[in-house]
Amino acid sequence: MSALAIDLPEDVSAARDGILKFAEQEILPRHAEYQAFFEDPRAMYGEDGKFSETLQSLIRDVRESSAKAGFYQMCVPEALGGGGLGHLAYYAAWQALFHRCGPKNWLMLYSLAHWAFGPSKLLEQITDEALAKVMPGLLDGSKSMCFGLSEPNAGSDASMIKTKATRDGDGWRIDGRKIWTTNAPIADYCVIFAVTNPDLSVANKSGITAFLVPTDTPGFTVQRIIKLFGHIGGDEAELAFDNLYVEPWQVVGEIDNGFAAALYGVSLGRIYNSARAVGYGRWSLELALDYAKAREAFGSAIADYQGVSFPLAESATELHAAHLMGINAAKLLDRGEPAVKELSMAKTYSVKVGYAAVDQAMQTHGAMGFTNEIGLVEAWHALRIVNVADGTNEILNRTIAQRLLKGDVGL
Ligand X SMILES: Cc1cc2nc3c(=O)[nH]c(=O)nc-3n(C[C@H](O)[C@H](O)[C@H](O)COP(=O)(O)OP(=O)(O)OC[C@H]3O[C@@H](n4cnc5c(N)ncnc54)[C@H](O)[C@@H]3O)c2cc1C
User: Given the rule CB under 6 A, which residues bind ligand X?
Assistant: 116, 146-150, 155-156, 180-182, 236, 385, 388-390, 392, 394-395, 398
Nearer Cβ to ligand X, position 257 or 392? Answer: 392
Task: Tell me which residue has its CB nearest to ligand X.
Answer: 155
Cβ 155 to ligand X shortest distance, Å: 2
Cβ 143 to ligand X shortest distance, Å: 17
Nearer Cβ to ligand X, position 226 or 292? Answer: 226
d(CA 145, CA 142): 11
Q: At what angle do helices 340-364 and 258-294 cross, to 10 degrees?
A: 30
Q: Hey, what amino acid is at 370?
A: F
d(CA 316, CA 361): 11
Cβ 392 to ligand X shortest distance, Å: 3
* End-to-end CA separation in angstroms for the chain: 28
Nearer Cβ to ligand X, position 146 or 327? Answer: 146
Q: Are 216 and 187 in contact (CB under 8 A)?
A: no
SS3 content of the chain, % helix, strand, coil (to 5): 55, 15, 30
Q: Hey, what amino acid is at 191?
A: V
d(CA 140, CA 313): 43
Sign of CA dihedral 254, 258, 263, 264: positive
Cβ 331 to ligand X shortest distance, Å: 25
Q: At what angle do helices 340-364 and 306-334 cross, to 10 degrees?
A: 160
Q: Are 357 and 319 in contact (CB under 8 A)?
A: yes
The stretches of 295-392 forming alpha helices (DSSP H) are: 306-334, 340-364, 376-385
Number of H helices, E strands in the chain: 13, 10
Nearer Cβ to ligand X, position 316 or 395? Answer: 395
Nearer Cβ to ligand X, position 116 or 308? Answer: 116
Cβ 22 to ligand X shortest distance, Å: 25
Nearer Cβ to ligand X, position 126 or 161? Answer: 161
Nearer Cβ to ligand X, position 26 or 236? Answer: 236
Cβ 303 to ligand X shortest distance, Å: 35
Torsion angle defined by CA atoms of residues 22, 106, 270 and 353, in that order, rounded to the nearest 10 degrees:
110
Cβ 11 to ligand X shortest distance, Å: 29
Cβ 302 to ligand X shortest distance, Å: 34
Cβ 383 to ligand X shortest distance, Å: 11
Cβ 170 to ligand X shortest distance, Å: 27
Pick from 213, 208, 184: nearest CA to 197: 208
Pick from 205, 287, 214, 202: nearest CA to 244: 214
Cβ 410 to ligand X shortest distance, Å: 24
Nearer Cβ to ligand X, position 116 or 325? Answer: 116
Q: Are 382 and 354 in contact (CB under 8 A)?
A: no
Nearer Cβ to ligand X, position 13 or 221? Answer: 221
Cβ neighbour number for residue 89 with a 10 Å cutoff: 25
Q: Hey, what amino acid is at 88?
A: L
Nearer Cβ to ligand X, position 137 or 155? Answer: 155
Nearer Cβ to ligand X, position 295 or 381? Answer: 381
d(CA 243, CA 205): 24
Using DSSP's 3-state secondary structure scheme, residue 215 falls into coil
